[in-house]
Structure 1
Amino acid sequence: MTDVVLPCLNEAAALPWLLDRMPPGYRPILADNGSTDGSPAIARRHGARVIDVPDRGYGAAVHAGLLAADPDDGVVCVLDADGSFDPADLPRLAGPVRDGEADLVCGRRRPATRRAWPVHARLGNAVLAHRIRSDTGLPVHDIAPIRAARRDALLALDLRDRRFGYPLELLLGAARAGWRVRELDVTYHPRAAGTRSKVTGTVRGTLRAVADMRAVLAR
């Protein structure tokens, strides 16, 4: 059984579709970061394990989910809980890790529609990815919003960011550790109706994410 960590803050509208499409053999762990819209109850009704994460932040939710994942299986996946990714893609990402062909497999977003990925967010992602390629040599074009790796290896990286800088710190840590990193195309869908991105949905969210990532690069 492969655990799937779903960092979540108020994603009730997306969860039924997302959890109903979880592939056989993949077990969702909803790392709830203080939802007030009933997300935990919905997740439980659709078969997910729910853990409460009192420390706010994307990185805090992912880290708590990794700690809660089953250490015996080894491979763990992470994806957003907003319905922008299809869980059916998870076996493609987990396969090379399980077969020993890669240490980290990241999804490269390919937007299904123009509104799925705002232009300003796409450009910001491209700038960061270019810097990572230049500084580390990793063959990445995206900041890994959906990914698969071995649980123990992820924890051994000892990542410290608990906010939006976590995915960037993960790639930098993987490069320092000499990981074999592979990138696969995944379709990026518009978020579920009635939901808003914590990063690109507001000016405050965007500025906060930029500040978090700048702090990671400064370190």
Structure 2
Amino acid sequence: MNQSIKVIIPAYNEQDSIANVINDIPLIVNEIIVISNNSTDATEKNAKNAGATVLKEPRKGYGYACLKGMEYIASLKEKPNIVVFLDGDYSDYPEQLTELVTPIINDNIDFVIGSRVKELREQGAMTPQQIFGNWLATFLMTLFFGAKFTDLGPFRAIKYDKLLALNMEDKTYGWTVEMQLKALKQKFSYIEIPMKYRNRIGVSKVSGTVKGSIFAGIKILTWIFKYSFK
């Protein structure tokens, strides 16, 4: 069965990496959508030159950018079967997208997360606060919901109709955990695929700053406790 796949890439000042990301995405993808999240460098130009559809979202926030991409897809006459989310910093291996969507295509799984497992992760690719935050968030999801997640990895694939059913709303750092919590609540089938992970190009806008790490942590925990007591 032929599957239509669209990729959403939020990007804030990723001029040095964005073309690499786009060029490494397998040809099974129908459209690559880069959302420039108030970039002030050549991100938009480089993404366009690499063949992506480029949108602008002036409101800063990972969730704002993802929602802009979803809004664009909703406006299209032909809707995809699968939507993949991928960061623009080249820390993931875009060529592994084929592995990521295979459980959806072959096994009818609703939701797949690329898990940044330690044995496939380049040294230093995740900061200590990222590693701890992932552990704490997934531990709490296991404790409260019996979840089997081990990561909040941003490289993820989901059936388009299931994505719509989640009614995503987070505008900033809580986007990934919101998606996982809502998938659990709606009893979606899900699986994790171990993925390679390398040091990103450039400096992280979240984990690379104390303020970003603190706000991301607060947002993630807020979502988890919000859903735990619903």
Bin for the TM-score computed over the shorter chain: over 0.9
Q: Which runs of 4+ in 1 moved over 4 A?
A: none
Q: Note the 1:160-175 alignment, pairs <5 A.
A: 160-175=169-184
Name which of 198, 208, 212 aligns with 2:215.
208
Structure 2 CA distance for aligned equivalents of residues 173 and 153 of structure 1: 10
Q: Note the 1:123-134 alignment, pairs <5 A.
A: 123-134=132-143
* Structural RMSD (CA): 1.5
Q: Which amino acid aligns with 1:6?
A: I
Q: Which amino acid aligns with 2:66?
A: V
Structure 1: gaps (5+ residues)? none
CA contact (8 A) 1:66 1:151 kept: no
User: What is the aligned partner in structure 1 of residue 71 from structure 2?
Assistant: 67
Quick one: percent identity of the two aligned structures? Answer: 29
User: What is the aligned partner in structure 1 of residue 199 from structure 2?
Assistant: 190
Structure 1 CA distance for aligned equivalents of residues 153 and 144 of structure 2: 17
Q: CA deviation at 1:6?
A: 0.3
Tell whether 2:60 aligns with 1:56.
Answer: yes
- Give the TM-score of the pair, scaled to structure 2: 0.89
Name which of 29, 39, 42 aligns with 1:38.
42
Q: CA deviation at 1:218?
A: 3.6
SS in 2 for 1:149: strand
Aligned residue-pair number: 217
Q: CA deviation at 1:217?
A: 2.4
Q: Which amino acid aligns with 2:219?
A: D
Q: CA deviation at 1:12?
A: 0.7
Name which of 146, 150, 154 aligns with 1:141.
150
* Higher mean C-alpha deviation, range 109-118 or range 88-97: 109-118
Structure 2: gaps (5+ residues)? none
Q: CA deviation at 1:108?
A: 0.5
Q: Which amino acid aligns with 1:148?
A: A
User: What is the aligned partner in structure 2 of residue 77 from structure 1?
Assistant: 84
Q: Which amino acid aligns with 1:11?
A: E
Q: Deviations over 1:160-191 (max 9, x none)?
A: 21111111111110011010110010001100
* Higher mean C-alpha deviation, range 172-181 or range 57-66: 57-66
Q: Deviations over 1:127-170 (max 9, x none)?
A: 11111122112211001311001122212211221111111111
Structure 2 CA distance for aligned equivalents of residues 7 and 14 of structure 1: 12
CA contact (8 A) 2:17 2:90 kept: yes
Q: Deviations over 1:43-91 (max 9, x none)?
A: 0000000111122211111121122235532101001110001111111
